[in-house]
Amino acid sequence: MELTAAIVIGFLLDQWLGDPETWWHPVRAIGWLIGWLERHLRQWFPGTAAGELTAGGVMAVLVLTLTAGITAGLLAAAGRIHPWLHFILLGVMCWQILAAKSLKAESMKVYHALTAGDIKRARWAVSRIVGRDTEPLSEEGMIRAAVETVAENASDGVIAPLFYLLLGGPILGFLYKAVNTMDSMTGYRNQKYLYYGRVPARLDDLVNLVPARLTAVLLIGTAWILPGFDGRGAWRIWLRDRYCHKSPNSAQTEAACAGALGVKLAGPAWYFGVLQEKPTIGEEKKKITGEDIVRVNRLMMGGAWLAFAAGTILRGIIFG
């Protein structure tokens, strides 16, 4: 009951405050640890394929062990001091694990810049939320990149963290965030990270197998419920295009969103100066516009509330 109440508080705080940029966030510490370990592990292990693969595996084990240990230690220490301190810390941790409000805020910066005709600021805003090269992007490309980011991170930043919070509280939630952060920093298929980032990338694929598909179903359900979306199209495109990506998970949510919005997503993109051919997702029933950034955020937020309501009710029934 205590954890369920803390998740409710954390979810509502995320919806209200998001992640203020001037406030410290635990994921920054996880990111610093990943970077520090990479610098040292690359020196300690040989630069061969086997050496880099081993170094990446060691990094993953150390990051996950420290993340779980520190989270558990802080909660245990708070509980020893006072039960209310333990509950407050639980709520704060749940809040920090979720990222719906910040995902919306960051993607909407692209929309507001484009609406104001400030292409330079829009390109800067896109560069903050995508891993691809942004210089080659046209205005339409920037819109598509923002929509794709919200679609993909509806799972990574919203539903998946909530899923793991409901299953195992902040310890499991922060473990998920650690895996996700390792993948975002090292999970690239380029010369530098092809072997070093392989273990984190495979871990990320594994932990997102269930949440990505659950998120897609939630987005499809939301598209049926909310006006202005194509629920039938979301279902049809998801069934057809959900594996149109090298990742086993990314196309799940992108396909659902593309169908719900009636637009075409994905396709070729530049990464580190190299053009990578990727299949398209969805059908271009209409030309994608800035308003689709607004629409995909409505869809993402609707899915988040649907997941929150269903998850907390189910957890309350199971655990009392």
pLDDT tens per residue across span 293-310: 999 999 999 999 999 999
CB atoms closer than 10 angstroms to residue 39: 8
Residue 262, sorted as left (phi over 0), alpha (psi -120 to 50) or beta, turns out to be left
Rg of the chain (C-alpha set): 20
Q: What values do phi and psi take at 46, rounded to 5? A: -65, 155
- Structure confidence at residue 190 as a pLDDT band (50, 70, 90): confident
Percent of the chain with pLDDT over 90: 74
Q: Are 219 and 299 in contact (CB under 8 A)?
A: yes
Q: What is the mean pLDDT of residues 187-199?
A: 87
The 10s digit of each residue's pLDDT in 204-257 is: 999 999 999 999 999 999 999 999 999 999 999 999 999 987 788 888 999 999
Please say if the pLDDT value at position 277 is more than 70.
no
Q: Are 291 and 300 in contact (CB under 8 A)?
A: no
Token reading at 47 = 């630069």
What are the angstrom distances between the C-alpha of 94 and each of 33, 81, 159? 21, 20, 13
Percent of the chain with pLDDT over 70: 96
pTM attached to this predicted model:
0.91
Q: What values do phi and psi take at 265, rounded to 5? A: -120, 180
Q: What is the mean pLDDT of residues 252-263?
A: 95
Q: Which of 289, 306, 304, 301 is nearest to 146 (CA)?
A: 289
Q: Which residues of 212-243 are buried (b: 16+ CB within 10 A; e: fewer)?
A: bbbbbbbbbbbbeebeebbbebbbebbeebbe
